[in-house]
Structure 1
Amino acid sequence: MIPKPNRLGRVTGPLLLAAVLTGTATACDGPPTARPHPGAGHPTVSAADMPLPDRVPVTSVGASPTAWQLPMDAYQYTPAQSAEVQGAVYSLANSCMRDLGYSTDLPTRLHPGPDHNAFRYGPVTDAQAAQGYRWMLRKAAPNGAGALNPTSEEYGALLGKSRHGRNGRPVPTGGCLGSARGALDSRGGRVDLPDVIRAIADDSYALSQRTAQVQTVFHSWSACMRQAGYRYPDPTAPARDKALVGTAPSGTGPVPAAGPHEVAVARADVACKRQVGLLSVWYSVERTMQSEAAARHAAELAPVPAAIARTVRNATAVLTAGGHPG
């Protein structure tokens, strides 16, 4: 998959393990980090839950992530909600850390990250193609400006690895981050959403590529690219071509500008997607697969929208009153 945003933003290290929101949020001056490729260390659904459809009706969609609303999007925090809830988690964690004698200052003003599906199908507009494939790396790369560097002692208190704080007070179970999430879970809130949501969202992307309908349009796209002078088996390949785009920047390094060859490939990529109707076919297959999987998991998914709404209300109370959920 094209790089997808991580839920936590630019906070790195052990704090990354504490990221719990299904959505995207970035610190006020930084873009989100890349999310792992589907299948990389997270739950998956069974083949019985997501069988490959023979053929689905194709719905025409525009070249914008807002036009690609998939069924699982309704069961995830929006980027704005994710930013608010994560900010509240950090606000409560800061208060907890102060009670333990630390001066930790996690960011509480977070900017929403890109749409859930912003990177899903690679470059799809001429403006994106003009930056080659680097626009995805720029949006996915961490911004080191003002990056946090908690000490190992602070990490221990944040994550619950220590028994006592600097002033001798006991560290709450799960650490200050765990305590913060627990507070937002009150009165029906749920910061940690069911794993099946992300599993369906990610597996539909991977499994849809095995369907005859998507493979046919991939072959048409590949033939179109060959006519333009480029050989790629499918539209996920250019962004993974290290000879073309290099590797994602490490640490806080800048993303180099795309060269003429990369831009030319991206422009051909976008033109071929339009010519063969790739976006509409791929999206339609994914939407069908997610809808069918959602029906099979209806009991698990039914409480999620209300839990998200309650969690967001709890977060708003924390950020506006500077206290605990009311």
Structure 2
Amino acid sequence: MRRQRPRATLPAVLVPALTVSLLAGCSADGGRAEPTAPSASPAPTASLGFTPRRLELPVHAYQLSPADQVKVTRARNTAIAACMKRYGLSWSAPKTPAAPRQDRRYGVIDLPAAQRYGYHLLPTDDTAPTEQGEPPSKAETDVLTGGRLLDADTGRSHLLAGYTEPVREVDGKPVPSGGCAQEAERKLLGRDDLTSTAGVVSRINTESFTESMKDTAVKDALAAWSTCMRKAGYDYADPLESIATARLDSDEVPTDEIDLATADVTCKRAVDLVDIWSRAESAVQRRMIRQHASATAKQRADNETRVRNAVALTGPAGE
């Protein structure tokens, strides 16, 4: 049965507010803080029976790897907890979902995943949302944030909603600029200036995807994929349209979703879409990286510093 083509829809990317997640770990019980960390491996890939494919793109060299992100997050949590303890506050980091094992940049690309899970995430991907506890007290928010919110893209901070000026002390004790959260960032970067070029790398990561879809080879491959899908009984212009039809908010994976995802990946393989697309996007990224050589080099150096200082704070495994 032929399916009508839905309106093209890019998948929404939800970026949680850092401060909201940080505040979820506050507890004014005066006890010992027990920082927790995201799991580096939600479950062994052996349990899947296959190894999910990960794309290799030039921009990855300027981003923290999943393993390094775990180290940095653990160290940040440890530093925040130690800082909060100075004010008699216990802070336990909220659970952070691990990086998905399956790369979804071009939709589902592993046939075994499509045949078993359709467009749904793999069971080894830890995507459980953080359970929010009691709202933090004013004192907890004051100490954690200093009344300021750090912009991760630029490294600049601005007043948190509800604050008219930065918090400088709590109960007579001086509060570090930006609170314990920004004190932890300064420890990781090894400097007071938190200015960042992460936004440049982030824009390269997103804009290169959009620009790559204009590449002639990619457009031809997408057209070939669409033709292949029509032969299988589906009418979609590109994989973004097909995956947009899935009910990913449900735990159930219906048979028709598995059939569609299987046809999707089978056609990707038949026309070599993933390799053609990744080659084109890699070329776009290399050009963008050259155009922003200074900013990207700074971000890579900052990432290396973060990892090095994270290991110094908590050890190689983040204990």
Q: What TM-score, normalized to structure 1?
A: 0.70
How much does 1:168 deviate?
4.0
Superposed, which structure 2 residues align to 1:55-74 within 5 Å? Answer: 65-66=53-54, 68-74=55-61
Flag the structure with larger Rg: 2
Tell me the residue number matched to 1:182: 186
1:205 and 1:286 in contact (8 A); partners too = yes
1:159 and 1:176 in contact (8 A); partners too = yes
Alignment match of 1:159 (pick from 145, 148, 153): 145
1:160 and 1:174 in contact (8 A); partners too = yes
Q: Which amino acid aligns with 2:225?
A: W
Tell me the residue number matched to 2:218: 214
Tell me the residue number matched to 2:266: 271
2:177 and 2:183 in contact (8 A); partners too = yes
Tell me the residue number matched to 1:297: 292
1:5 and 1:140 in contact (8 A); partners too = no
1:13-62 CA distance string (max 9 Å, x none): 723799xxxxxx9723997xxxxxxxxxxxxxxxxxxxxxxxxxxxxxxx
Tell me the residue number matched to 1:42: none
State the secondary structure of the residue aligned to 1:27: coil
Q: What is the alpha-carbon distance in structure 1 between the residues aligned to residue 137 and residue 219 of structure 2?
A: 49
Q: What is the alpha-carbon distance in structure 2 between the residues aligned to residue 309 and residue 188 of structure 1?
A: 17
Superposed, which structure 2 residues align to 1:1-326 within 5 Å? Answer: 14-15=20-21, 27-28=38-39, 65-66=53-54, 68-106=55-93, 113-114=99-100, 118-129=103-114, 130-135=116-121, 139=125, 141-144=127-130, 151-153=136-138, 154-161=140-147, 163=167, 167-186=171-190, 192-241=196-245, 245-248=246-249, 255-320=250-315
1:172 and 1:179 in contact (8 A); partners too = yes
1:101-134 CA distance string (max 9 Å, x none): 2111226x9785236x812111112221020111
RMSD: 3.6
How much does 1:306 deviate?
3.3
Q: What is the alpha-carbon distance in structure 1 between the residues aligned to residue 262 and residue 172 of structure 2?
A: 60
1:161-209 CA distance string (max 9 Å, x none): 2736764423221111111101111169979553111111111111211
How much does 1:300 deviate?
2.1
1:14 to 1:165, Cα distance in 2 relative to 1, 3 A: farther
1:119 to 1:192, Cα distance in 2 relative to 1, 3 A: farther
1:165 to 1:134, Cα distance in 2 relative to 1, 3 A: farther
1:175 to 1:13, Cα distance in 2 relative to 1, 3 A: closer
State the secondary structure of the residue aligned to 2:93: coil
Percent identity of paired positions between Structure 1 and Structure 2: 29
Q: Which runs of 5+ in 2 are unaligned?
A: 1-9, 25-35, 43-50, 148-165
2:218 and 2:276 in contact (8 A); partners too = yes
2:197 and 2:298 in contact (8 A); partners too = no
1:97 and 1:176 in contact (8 A); partners too = yes
Q: Which amino acid aligns with 2:118?
A: G
2:23 and 2:141 in contact (8 A); partners too = no
How much does 1:143 deviate?
3.6
State the secondary structure of the residue aligned to 1:113: coil
State the secondary structure of the residue aligned to 1:230: coil
1:75 and 1:305 in contact (8 A); partners too = yes
2:37 and 2:96 in contact (8 A); partners too = yes
1:259-302 CA distance string (max 9 Å, x none): 00000000000100011111111111100000111111112223
Q: What is the alpha-carbon distance in structure 1 between the residues aligned to residue 233 and residue 56 of structure 2?
A: 33
How much does 1:138 deviate?
8.1
Tell me the residue number matched to 1:60: none
Q: Which amino acid aligns with 1:170?
A: P
1:189 and 1:307 in contact (8 A); partners too = no
Q: Which runs of 5+ in 1 are unaligned?
A: 19-24, 32-62, 249-254, 322-326
1:170 to 1:190, Cα distance in 2 relative to 1, 3 A: closer
1:2 and 1:121 in contact (8 A); partners too = no
1:188 and 1:311 in contact (8 A); partners too = no
State the secondary structure of the residue aligned to 1:134: coil
1:126 to 1:190, Cα distance in 2 relative to 1, 3 A: farther
Aligned residues: 268
1:150 to 1:185, Cα distance in 2 relative to 1, 3 A: farther
